[in-house]
Amino acid sequence: MKIDRRCFLSLGVGAAAGVALSPLPWKLLDDSSIWSQNWPWTPVPKDGAASYVHSTCTLCPGGCGITVKKIGDRAVKIEGKAGHPVNNGGVCIMGLSGLQLLYGPTRVQSPLKRVGERGEGKWKEISWQEAIAEVAGTLQKIRAEGDAHTVAGIMESDRGTVPRLMQRLLTAYGSPNFFRMPSMQDSYEQALYLMQGVRAMPGFDVENADFILSFGSGLIEGWGAPVRMIQANSNWRSTGAHVVQVEPRLSNTAAKSDEWIPVKPGAEAALALGIAHVMIKENRCSGFADQAAFGFDDFVDDEGRTHKGFKQLVLESYSPETVAEVTGIDSRRIVDLARAFAAAKRPIALTGRGRGLTPGSVSDVMAIHALNALAGNINADGGIWAVPEPDYIEWPAPEMDRVAVDGIQKGRIDKAGGSEIPYTQYLLNRFALTAQGKGDYPIKALMVSEANPAYSLPDTRMFQKALDAIPFVVSFSSYMDETALQADLILPNHMYLERYEEVPAPAGYSKPLIGLTRPVIKPLYNTKHVGDTLIGIARQLGGNIAKAFPWTDYESCLRNTISGKWDSLMRKGFWWNAAYKPAPASNGFDTASGKFEFAVTIPRGTDKAGDALLPKYQPIIPEGDIAEFPLLLMPYETMCLSSGYTGSPPFMMKTVPDTVLKGNTGLVEISPETATSLNLDEGDPVMLTTPKGQANLRVHLSDGVPPGILAMPRGLGHRAYDDYMADKGVNINELMGPVEDPVSGLDAAWGIRANLTKA
Amino acid sequence: MSMTDEKAHETSTDAASQNGDLSGHGDIETPKDGPGGFIILFFIAGLVVSLVVGWGLFPKLLYSQKKQPIAFNHKLHMAEVEHGCESCHYFREDGSFSGIPTLEECMSCHENAIGESDAEGLFMAEYVYKGREVPWYVYARQPDCVFFSHAAHVSMGEMECETCHGDVGESEAPRVYEENRITGYSRDIWGKSIAGLKINSYDRMKMDDCAECHETMTGRRTSVQTQYDACFVCHK
């Protein structure tokens, strides 16, 4: 007997048999599967007693009430607040994702001073004392040089205590250059002022409307208060309301509507006037136009000149046949649409393309608003209401010293509100040009809070150049966004889940309402409420400026200002005037004629006498030479992407389909017809060129896009923030520029000429 | 000679001897020069060693032994409280289950030391005075991929605590907590018996045990694949 190889094989076989008969392999298999399903590094929310904080979301102008669930000190979930007038328990994907902005790596964790080149991202942490002293010191120096007017401030909104503190600081300091980020609010507010004589916000009583005629508004894609609109849209299904979407592209809203009218791009107002033509010609208007309106019929002005009225203008120039040519919509369809609109009990016509992120042309808004007047739904149930501006801020006007008065008298750099453009308040689209030395004076310092103009404004390259030319840029951003990245100094604000702030007037909401944002958790980092920072800067500037800021801190300023409504805000999270109804049209209007004005005659508040301004179709010509750029690029908006001040957190990015973003490459939608003519196939890499820039993309073929049109979403292509939010797709603002509306100077661009070549 | 050649040589020798056997010259039955006995011996040795490793050593290696931070006496507490288990392991107002009491909850009685035991002294010194939560090891914690609701089982299903937790309320000192070195979870999930044997309902809490009871109690076998209750009842 000897031991050979077979013995050892046998040993192996025996061992294998033994192992198989023991629990070892089965247990290991089970354990490894448990391990691999529960990676120890996967974050798991803490377990424990839940508490809830009622607050208000500030991630878009919608002002939804939110309820944040907390376990211990950790916020674990954001839900819609049940019973809130705006969103009644609903929440959108952006609102849900707020915790990723709170805990994500994109936060600015302490005051930062730039040490490298601008945009390089090299910072030095400094103390709050140093940071405020540095801002105040620079502002003091600029003021001493007699250049107080060269300091500008940009914010997302101009309503509420914080924007008012910024405005107050600039005013007391001596600068007229406060800017609000552009949106459809600009053009709607102006149309309401011109036609109804009120400085008011448009309120859409969509819940009570039974025929919704939307001119390009993304009703379920973030227009107005997004959750409210989605809920209203669901209600329309049960109430049997009829939804008509007038829009060149088959958007989600168009797809979910009862009727999609694929109008030619930019020709929405022409269609509105065509509908008006049919209503007037067939005598289908309500009595409102005849009785409560001015300028419907021809009229004679104070100087004895005869002007053509709206009725005559529309009858002469906008017959269905003429309009059919401009809009590409069959004339019979226009007639049918007009009849259906007129026959409805409570029809409403509304606009603001997509989410209403660009103002659009005031003429367009007036033409569409005129339909509401013809239907008699101005300030009526289911119609458009003029909602008064919030009036709870009653601070005495700051005392102005000599320097401040001189500075304010230099006039705004964008000339908004000046003799040429008397009704427009802010023209941020002109800021880039003027800041580059093309204005009356250079901008020497810029403060940006709760806004990201370096990403959000059309023609980002131009804005970048403007920033380069400004010697001192201060950001108050909570996140390392594109604008903060270009700043010299960042004085980070608490993010919205860490601070008190009131949120007045949700976009498009029909009743006066103020929400309260309140701290859900203690601030995570060394940040400071921007209200406190502004008060701190004012204090250091001293003199009349310090006197204009008598509050010890922002919270006491907010409590004192809100005073009577504070209890309701603390208890319910919001204050509202539930019984609010606008004054009926029969009470008359605040216009020169005392009526609703189809024809705007003598502008009030200015010394400029002008020709009658009537709702007309004034085509806005997209930028670019048609020979060089035979196609048209148009932006669209989607609920999957944020297009406002903050970027889209990962929760949102995961919902973006791969027909919009594949890997990190963005896709541009084109019609199969266009694709064939360009010899392109689904997914082909392309180079998109516009007069403003170029981008590498892939094509996605879609029957929902008309031939010759390229469609791209807003909200992609961030270059700042963190690894999770940056470098995904292309920012359409790098490819598009603003086009000025001749009436208002506002950005009315709805697209830009473009060319597409195989890359 | 190269290695390859050596091997080739061996192979040919083997082949030759096999050929020889077949032709009747050799005797494979002869134990003298064959390894037959050793083969069996080696097989048994391998078998025995691996059985010992698999049944004996492996469980010892797989689980680390951990002592609870405080020698907690359930029996003593049960005698003091009015509402049994629910006195400390209660349901919150919103219906969720509180689980193991927090330090604050313990301190509602133990704000000052009660009695003079070592455990009490340690609890006071290390946790109450320092304001630290006691890092209890939880015997019954299910993996994170499982969504387990006490409310559904106790409040709605009216199950007794003992059905799953056994007589833990009677214990005078905590058992040693055995932590699986791979998964990090307690041994109680698989059960004390490494073979997976179970006598009492609380001996093992694997998915099959949940599923078995779910089927008896609810009668549902909604999952076509597993013939159990639907996956998403527990795996959200």
What is the rounded CA–CA span in Å between residue A64 and residue A60?
9
pLDDT for res A759: 86
Per the DSSP assignment, residues forming a β-bridge with A107 are: A479
Per residue in B26-79, pLDDT (tens digit) is: 445 444 556 678 889 999 999 999 999 999 999 999 999 999 999 999 999 999
Kindly state the DSSP code that residue B234 receives in the 8-state scheme: T
Cross-chain Cβ contact B58/A49 below 8 Å: no
Q: Which helix (H) or strand (E) holds A334?
A: helix A331-343
Cross-chain Cβ contact A17/B46 below 8 Å: yes
Q: Does A82 touch chain B (CB under 8 A)?
A: no
CA angle A191, A196, A199 (to 5 degrees): 70
Cross-chain Cβ contact A14/B43 below 8 Å: yes
Residues of B in contact with A41 (CB under 8 A): none
In Å, how far from its chain's centre is CA B154?
23
What is the rounded CA–CA span in Å between residue A458 and residue A360?
13
Which residue, A242, A235, A239, is CA-closest to A257? A242
Tell me which of A30, A36, A67 to substitute to probe the interface with B (most B C-beta atoms closer than 10 Å). A30
Residue ranges of B 63-122 with Cβ closer than 8 A to chain A: 92, 94, 96, 98-99, 102
Residue ranges of A 47-76 with Cβ closer than 8 A to chain B: 47-50
Residues of A in contact with B29 (CB under 8 A): none
Distances (CA, A) of A182 to A358, A431, B186: 6, 12, 58
Tell me which chain A residue has its CA closest to the CA of residue B186.
A31
DSSP helix/strand/coil, A349: strand
Query: Of all residues in chain B, what percent carry a pLDDT higher than 70?
Result: 85
Contact B214, B226 (CB under 8 A): no
Per residue in A597-633, pLDDT (tens digit) is: 998 865 543 434 456 788 999 999 999 999 999 999 9
Tell me which chain B residue has its CA closest to the CA of residue A6.
B39
Tell me which chain A residue has its CA closest to the CA of residue B181.
A31
CB-based contacts of A464-469 (< 8 A; 24+ apart in sequence): A465/A432, A465/A436, A466/A431, A466/A432, A466/A433, A466/A434, A466/A435, A466/A436, A467/A118, A467/A435, A468/A118, A469/A435, A469/A436, A469/A437, A469/A442, A469/A443
Tell me which chain B residue has its CA closest to the CA of residue A42.
B144
Per the DSSP assignment, residues forming a β-bridge with A51 are: A70
Tell me which chain B residue has its CA closest to the CA of residue A28.
B182
Cross-chain Cβ contact B50/A27 below 8 Å: no
Residue ranges of B 137-156 with Cβ closer than 8 A to chain A: 143-145
What is the rounded CA–CA span in Å between residue A438 and residue A428?
14
CB-based contacts of A659-662 (< 8 A; 24+ apart in sequence): A659/A700, A659/A702, A660/A700, A660/A713, A660/A716, A660/A729, A661/A716, A661/A728, A661/A729, A662/A698
Taking the CA of residue A101 and the nearest CA in chain B, the distance in Å comes to: 25
Tell me which of B29, B42, B133 to substitute to probe the interface with A (most A C-beta atoms closer than 10 Å). B42
- Ranges of beta strands (E only) in A89-165 are 112-114, 123-125, 151-155
Tell me which of B61, B182, B197, B234 to substitute to probe the interface with A (most A C-beta atoms closer than 10 Å). B182
- Helices marked H in A482-635 — which ranges? 482-485, 530-541, 543-547, 554-562, 566-572
Per residue in B180-233, pLDDT (tens digit) is: 999 999 999 999 999 889 999 999 999 989 988 888 888 777 777 777 777 888
What is the rounded CA–CA span in Å between residue A138 and residue A487?
14
DSSP for A596-620? EESSB-S-TTSS-----B-------
What is the rounded CA–CA span in Å between residue A434 and residue A486?
18
Residues of B in contact with A1 (CB under 8 A): 31-38
What is the rounded CA–CA span in Å between residue A43 and residue A45?
7
ipTM for the assembly: 0.81
Q: What letter represents residue B117's amino acid?
A: S
What is the rounded CA–CA span in Å between residue B43 and residue A18?
9
What is the rounded CA–CA span in Å between residue A82 and residue B128?
40
Kindly state the DSSP code that residue A217 receives in the 8-state scheme: E
DSSP for A676-718? HHTT--TT-EEEEEETTEEEEEEEEE-TTS-TTEEEEESS---
Cross-chain Cβ contact A1/B37 below 8 Å: yes
Taking the CA of residue A487 and the nearest CA in chain B, the distance in Å comes to: 43
Contact A698, A665 (CB under 8 A): yes
**pLDDT band, very low/low/confident/very high, at B14 (cuts 50, 70, 90):** very low
Residues of B in contact with A19 (CB under 8 A): 50, 53-54
Tell me which chain B residue has its CA closest to the CA of residue A36.
B183
Q: Give buried/exposed letters for A493-522 (b at 16+ CB in 10 A, else e).
A: bbbbbbbbbbbbbbbbbbbbbbbbbbbbbe
What is the rounded CA–CA span in Å between residue A164 and residue A158?
7
Nearest to A21 among B44, B51, B185 (CB): B51
Cross-chain Cβ contact B182/A35 below 8 Å: yes
Taking the CA of residue A525 and the nearest CA in chain B, the distance in Å comes to: 24
Contact A207, A235 (CB under 8 A): yes
Which residue, A141, A142, A159, A161, is CA-closest to A151? A142
Residues of B in contact with A14 (CB under 8 A): 42-48, 50
Cross-chain Cβ contact A49/B196 below 8 Å: no
Which residue, A201, A732, A303, A719, is CA-closest to A484? A719
pLDDT below 70 — which residues of chain A? 1, 601-611
Taking the CA of residue A655 and the nearest CA in chain B, the distance in Å comes to: 19
DSSP helix/strand/coil, B8: helix
The pair of structure tokens assigned to A627 is 């020979």
pLDDT for res B115: 87
pTM score of the predicted model: 0.86
Residues of B in contact with A44 (CB under 8 A): 144
What is the rounded CA–CA span in Å between residue B111 and residue B134?
15
Cross-chain Cβ contact B182/A28 below 8 Å: yes
Q: What is the dihedral of CA A465, A469, A470, A471, to 10 degrees?
A: 130
Q: Does A563 touch chain B (CB under 8 A)?
A: no
Cross-chain Cβ contact B50/A17 below 8 Å: yes
Nearest to A50 among B35, B47, B96 (CB): B96
Which residue, B101, B205, B92, is CA-closest to B155? B92
Cross-chain Cβ contact B44/A14 below 8 Å: yes
Q: Does A13 touch chain B (CB under 8 A)?
A: yes
Q: Which helix (H) or strand (E) holds A667?
A: strand A665-670
Tell me which of A6, A8, A22 to substitute to probe the interface with B (most B C-beta atoms closer than 10 Å). A22
Tell me which of A3, A24, A26, A39 to substitute to probe the interface with B (most B C-beta atoms closer than 10 Å). A24
**pLDDT band, very low/low/confident/very high, at B13 (cuts 50, 70, 90):** very low
In Å, how far from its chain's centre is CA A183?
6
Residues of A in contact with B135 (CB under 8 A): none
Q: Does A397 touch chain B (CB under 8 A)?
A: no
Q: Are strands A242-246 and A211-217 parallel, antiparallel or unpaired?
A: parallel
pLDDT for res A122: 95
Residues of B in contact with A45 (CB under 8 A): none
